[in-house]
Copies of this chain bind each other. A is one copy, B any other.
Amino acid sequence: MSENLEELSGRYRDILRQSVYLVRSIDADGELSTGQVSTLNMIFVEPMRVSAIARYAGIKVPSATEQVIKLESAGMVERIADASDARVVLVKITAFGKKKLAVANKRRNANMAAALSELTAQEQQAVADAIPAIAKLNIALTARL
């Protein structure tokens, strides 16, 4: 089993790396970077603190701060104080941010969906089925940091 897992690890690492660059290339022509879209998606429902954004995105807090500042300059988020803890900065998406995000998501998902449509139903299902497993894998990876 352990040997199978290492072999699977190698294949997973390879496909992951290839995927991320392709997705970035596909999405490159938009106004928002992949990371910015990801951040906006995170705070769409409710404001998040900077440290939470960092943790969820897999980046360090200073990097998250930097992204937030850029988004704020662009008018897509605003930083609000947390009433219960003055150290905390809550990042909230603006109406303008929501509009931009909707456009970006629509275009990106359309691109990806077009590629997905070239797969068989079984292959699409395989991708869908893997997502919860990968999410759990990511939690396991996070715990090892």
Residues of A within 8 A of B (CB): 2, 5-26, 34-35, 38, 41, 56-59, 105, 108-119, 123-124, 126-138, 140-142, 144-145
Contact of A20 among B16, B25, B137, B140 (CB under 8 A): B16
Contacts of A138 in B (CB 8 A): 15, 18-19, 22
Q: Known: A25-B58, A26-B144, A141-B22. Contact between A116 and B5, CB under 8 A? A: yes
Contacts of A130 in B (CB 8 A): 126-127, 129-130, 134
Look across to chain B and name the residue whose beta carbon is closest to the beta carbon of A35: B17
Known contacts A10-B41, A129-B129; 16 additional CB pairs below 8 A are A6-B112, A8-B116, A9-B113, A17-B34, A20-B20, A20-B58, A21-B59, A22-B142, A24-B58, A115-B141, A119-B136, A123-B137, A124-B133, A126-B126, A126-B132, A127-B134
